[in-house]
Amino acid sequence: MKLTKEQSQEIKDQQNQENITKRVTAHDLEKILYEAIPILDHGFIRVVDYMGNDTSIVQSARVSYGKGTKKVSTDAGLIKYLMRHWHSTPFEMCEIKYHVKLPIFIARQWIRHRTANVNEYSARYSILDKEFYLPSKENLAAQSQSNRQGRGDTLKGEQAEEVLNLLKNDAERTYQNYETMLNERYDGNIIDDNKTGLARELARMNLTLNTYTQWYWKTDLLNLMNFLRLRADHHAQYEIRAYADAMLDTVKKWVPITYEAFMDYRVGGTEVSAKGKIVLQKLIKGEKITIEESGLSKREWNELMIAFNLKDKLI
């Protein structure tokens, strides 16, 4: 991860602030506030602001004054109840804002979650950094034969080298063309005093999708958990999962009781349909049931069996 001198100084200045507040704070999150957590080769996330903590959720659920209850165990019981029964609005009372540096192709996937306030680095106004994401060899995989959205076996040897060289060379060449069209180098120097540069809003169109961009992304805790439930899942694309995993750790520091409930009921738990519930009830009683009798499709049946580690009953 590479930070500019200006960014490093900004982080240092922010961390050296000494502010007094009457608002609730999260002690462990305060320790990493503003810190740039490295992701991938040049990316990062930073928590730059937040509002509320676990007690804010409890307070909202009870619509009362004060910080909630005197016993943490009581707060934990209520938060688990809210999570277990999908009472979502109290979790909307907490908000968090991240500064994220990420490849453009991941940003376009990320923005599909239309539940946040986003302000992205403007390539109409400024020149994009000369930084590109290049996958490590262990994350360079072929297209999956069974999943149109997923990866298959890892590429090996000369094929892997060829792909990496193509990605690197294409990114460097298009960025060089970007500078030529702008008539301006990444360091701000003019290339040719006798030329007029192309408008930045036009020159950017030629850049590759592995070029890095940055944004501020602010959301409430409920929508953050919805994002993380999908993007921290092992089925998610590796690159966005790397960001989600780091964000999950910030949630643990911010709202530890909610984090524990979230990991238990949303990440570690599973949903069962009414038909699936009947299948499980019969299996627990030792009764036999066929897929035809269950009314489940083959995919539904197998997903249910895998979720409850009944792999001997896979079809």
Q: Taking a C-beta distance cutoff of 8 angstroms, is the pair 133, 103 a contact?
A: yes
Q: Is 231 a catalytic residue?
A: yes
Catalytically annotated residue among 46, 200, 231, 241? 231
Distance between CA atoms of residues 202 and 217, nearest Å? 25
- The catalytic residue positions are 231
